[in-house]
Amino acid sequence: MAFTLLARLTKSTSLLGIALMSASAACANPSDDKRSEFVDVGSLLPNAVLDIRYFGHHNFVGKPVDGYNAPKCLLHNSAAKALKNVQIAAQIQGLSLKIFDCYRPQRAVDHFVRWVNDLEDTRTKAEFYPNLGKDKLLGDYIAAKSGHSRGSTIDLTLVDAKGKELDMGSPFDMFDTLSNTDDPRISAEQKANRYKLKTLMTEGGFAPYSMEWWHFTYQPQAYPATYFDFVVE
């Protein structure tokens, strides 16, 4: 009797363990198996300049961001191939692409949300959001989900033959209406530079984002409803 009861308990425990393992697998990010479809843009575009801001300290968080284990630009292969054509077109004009961010893990986006909710941390205010309170950033500027996590969005600018950035009128990641592509306060030269970038990108199949002159998304997106979370490495 005791042996039978023990056997039943052992069998139940084993079945419970299998069920828990199955549940854990079900909770795992189902998109991780798509990692092989992402390309290291630095290898594909060796002449492009990489300045992956969230890998280092020069960003609005003020320190390396979760999920960036290497200063790499990863994109879904469809977007990466299109970007290569943009780089070729830019080089014909004596220019080159300078890339700030590409694929962004969901854990990095979560890091941004934690940062924006820490209202006492304003170390980077002077550079990145001088005219806004930090409590105003959530929503228009910092979101809980980002198109970057889908693998088809990129933040970038243009540099000349000497590697100098073209004057765009505001720096990358400046949270201000000054960063709107058509903000009326920028000079004619700055607007021309923004439109030079916009034209190159749109002709390459990338859609602009009017609030940020540096932000473009390849169309159609390979995974328009997925938010990947594998680390950049």
Contact, 154 vs 73, CB < 8 A? yes
Query: Of 120, 189, 203, 212, which one is the catalytic site residue?
Result: 212
- DSSP codes joined into one string, 100-147: EE----HHHHHHHHHHHH-TT--TTHHHH-TTS-GGG-BTTTB-SS-G
Active-site residue 212, yes or no? yes
Could you give the angle at the alpha carbon of 223 between the alpha carbons of 222 and 226, nearest 5°?
A: 165
Beta strands 74-76; 38-40: pairing state: antiparallel
Query: Looking up tokens 């990641």, which residue turns up?
Result: 173
Residues marked as catalytic: 212
